[in-house]
Amino acid sequence: MAMKTVFSRALVIFVSVVIFFPALLAQDIASFEKRITVKKLANGLTVVIMERPEAPVFSFYTRVDAGSAQEVPGITGLAHMFEHMAFKGTHEIGSRNWPAEKVALEKVEQAYAAYENENLKDVGRDANRVAELEKAWQAAVAAADDYVIPNQFGEIVESEGGVGLNASTDRDETTYYYSFPQNRLELWAYLESERFLEPVMREFYKERDVVYEERRMSVDSSPQGRLLEQFLGTAYIAHPYGRPVVGWPSDLRSFSATDALRFFRKYYVPANIVVTVVGDVKAQEALPIIEKYFGRIPAGPAPEPLRVKEPPQDALRSVVLHDKSQPLYVEGYHRPDFRDPDDAVYDVLADLLSKGRTSRLYRSLVRDKRIALAAQGGSFPGNKYPSLFFFFAAPTQGHTAEEMAKPIHEEIERLKTQDVSDEELESIKTRAKADLIRGLGNDQGLALQLGEYQALYGDWRALFRDIDEIEKVTKADIRRVANKTFREDNRTVAIIATDTPKSSAPAGKGEQ
């Protein structure tokens, strides 16, 4: 109410916002239509090109529709491992002598298989034999390493002016991206297709050590990493969303280059890949080049869909980590995947609860009760398969993780029993549109969004339709979805309960 008196002009503007937006977005889509070309190549690979000649550069985003959700126990972490291997080069790149290296790598695999067979034996494992076989495997690795030109793929990209060279693996997808000066389009098409045409698993086992260090950094040695691994492992009992993207320690110590290639052959088929290019390119000129190079990748059958479905949760689950670090609280509720008609309602809920200082969790837990440093809610960990709607809070000094539950549940109760205000709902819809616009201003961000929507919905225009769906969300939808989702028997809670050490730790090797 205070708002109206202080900002009388605001109301006028408010109305104009509502009227103005649809026109603006329609204009955007029309302008995008003119600048975007989509083509499915003969081998099934989808290419999206957007002309945006702001400066003589372009960015791309290769999205492979496979992530850690495609893994099974024993090979967890393999999608991510392959992502690392996609930087190791090809027959042409990274080898001093490919024919000889090929033979040497085959020997590595044979030696590794022999070693692992003995090493993993449940009964009759012979430690001496394991040591011998390990030595033989290491000798084979050393012999193969003689042929390697390390990091040549990355070196070519960087020395040709590539920036932002990186890749990312998540549960739903694996993505590869960087930006290049505009005159390197053909070089890019060569490099990007080459690495998915004939990737070579050189230096696999050293890279596996690197990935294990990544696990130590992001999970083992990180309080939040440990908490989230336990949280998801508890919330999911069947579906792979419950397993860490980086993989379990046992699997990171045992999967092989042969396993990685098998994963690659199954999932990196052109039908499973969308390549998006945004920047100073002309579709008419770029498409033939892209077609020429990416067309080399042989077609293959699209991988079969995931069979496993998470069974409905019918009892409260909780996990407590007694940790030395400060308390954290997270709770989650199963929600449907992104194709569900209520998907936009969850987006609205996330904004209502979390966005900025007017959000409900901020105002309740941070501003008024002063028991949390930060508090948010949203969907996690994926889109493609049924995910979770989470509530996360970091207590302020002197408050415990357990104290977060009550005020969070009060906010949930409010969502279930009281309609949100007109102002709140309008404000959320306005922000959704503005955020969309803010995301259209750079090549790499555009490539990511267009590629993501093209892959998931089969049409980049869904990026704009999402906004229409949000526009349709009503107060009744919010109450209905809150009642449907936020039930105690659908809840998983994970907390860090801080241990206060009674005595100081015994001296280790760091002391004098």
Partner 1 sequence: MMKRSALLLPALAVFALTLTAAAQPASQPSAKTADPQKPPAAGTLPRSWKQVPIPPLRAFAPQAPRRIELPNGMVIFLQEDHELPLIDGTVRIRGGSRDEPAEKIGLAAMYAEVWRTGGTKSKTGDQLDDFLEAHAARVEASNGLDSTSLSWSALKQNFDEVFPVVLDLLQHPEFRQDKIDLTKQQFASLISRRNDDLEEIASREAAKLAYGPDSPYARTAEYYTISAITRDDMLAWHHRTVAPNNMVLGMVGDFDSVAMEQRLRQAFEGMPRGAAVTALQVNFPGPKPGIYFVEKNDVNQSSIHMVDLGIERRDPDFYAVEVMNQLFGGGFSSRLFAHIRTKQGLAYSVGGGVGAAYDHFGVTSLAMGTKSGSTAAGIEALRKETADLITGKVTPMELKTAKDALLNSFIFEFDSKEKVLAERMRYEFYGYPPDFLQHYRAGIEKVTTADVDRVARKYIHPDRMAVLVVGNAREFDRNLATFGHVTTIDISIPEKKPEK
Q: Which of residues 123-142 bind partner 1 (CB under 8 A)?
A: none
Binders in 374-433 for partner 1, by CB under 8 A: 374, 376, 378-383, 390, 392, 394-397, 423, 426-427, 430-433
Q: What is the CA radius of gyration of the chain?
A: 26
| Nearest CB to partner 1, comparing residues 56 and 301 | 56
Sequential DSSP letters for 361-376? HIIIIIIIS--EEEEE
Could you give the 3-state DSSP secondary structure of residue 64? strand
Least spacing, CB of residue 122 vs partner 1, in Å = 26
Give CA separation, 17 vs 1, 201, 273, 421, in Å.
20, 54, 38, 18
Among 254, 325, 416, 497, binds partner 1 (CB under 8 A): 325
At CA 275, angle to CA 274 and CA 278, rounded to 5?
A: 135
Is 464 among the residues that bind partner 1 (CB under 8 A)?
A: no
Phi, psi of 419 (to 5 degrees): -65, 145
Determine the interface stretch with partner 1 among 109-117, 355-363, 401-409, 410-418 (rule: CB under 8 A). Answer: 355-363
DSSP string across 305-360: PP---PPPP-S-EEEEEEESSPPEEEEEEEE--TTSTTHHHHHHHHHHHHSSTTSH
Q: Which of 187, 190, 213 is nearest to 84 (CA)?
A: 213
Tell me, what amino acid is at 485?
T
Is position 356 an interface residue for partner 1 (rule: CB under 8 A)? yes
Q: 234 or 383: whose CB is closer to partner 1?
A: 383
Q: Of these, 49, 63, 108, 181, which contacts partner 1 (CB under 8 A)?
A: 181
- 292 scored as a contact of partner 1 (CB under 8 A): yes
Tell me the CB-side half-sphere exposure of residue 93, using CA atoms within 13 A: 23
Q: In the set 37, 43, 218, 258, which binds partner 1 (CB under 8 A)? A: 218
- Asked if 338 is part of the footprint of partner 1 (rule: CB under 8 A), the reply reads yes
In the list 29, 114, 163, 271, the residue contacting partner 1 (rule: CB under 8 A) is: 163
The answer to the question of residue 151 lying near partner 1 (CB under 8 A) is: yes
Stretch that binds partner 1, among 54-62, 107-115, 255-263, 413-421 (CB under 8 A): 54-62
- Specify the stretch interacting with partner 1 by CB under 8 A; choose among 87-95, 262-270, 309-317, 413-421: 87-95
Q: Are strands 174-181 and 57-64 parallel, antiparallel or unpaired?
A: antiparallel
- Give the nearest distance from C-beta 156 to partner 1 in angstroms: 6
Say whether 181 sits in a helix, a strand or coil: strand
Contact with partner 1 (CB under 8 A) among 216, 253, 309, 406: 216
161 is a contact residue toward partner 1 (CB under 8 A): yes
Cβ partners under 8 Å of residue 458, min gap 6: none
Of 323 and 402, nearer to partner 1 (C-beta) is 323
